[in-house]
Amino acid sequence: MTTTATYTVKGMTCGHCVSSVKEEVGEVPGVTGVEVDLPTGLVTVQGEGPLDGAAITAAVKEAGYEVVSA
């Protein structure tokens, strides 16, 4: 089963920020892909099986940003 979830993340300003979010979220167990649209802050996460939303939100915070809607 492939799952896709989207999150709106606040605070990303440049490609370095995008890389940080991709790296941290990509390390969450079950996550197989992360795409980020910088202008809108939209983060699209793909995974095999159910995604752990709390872990993804925590990973975004670890990168230094904030999930404002999920």
Contacts with a second copy, residue ranges (CB under 8 A): 13-14, 16-17, 20
Q: At its nearest, how many Å lie between a second copy and the CB of residue 61?
A: 16
Pick between residue 15 and residue 49 the one whose CB is nearest to a second copy: 15
Q: At its nearest, how many Å lie between a second copy and the CB of residue 1?
A: 35
What 3-state DSSP class applies to 20?
Answer: helix
Q: Quick one: residue 14, left, alpha or beta (phi over 0 = left, psi -120 to 50 = alpha)?
A: beta
Alpha-carbon dihedral 30, 40, 64, 67, rounded to 10 degrees: -60
Q: At its nearest, how many Å lie between a second copy and the CB of residue 39?
A: 13
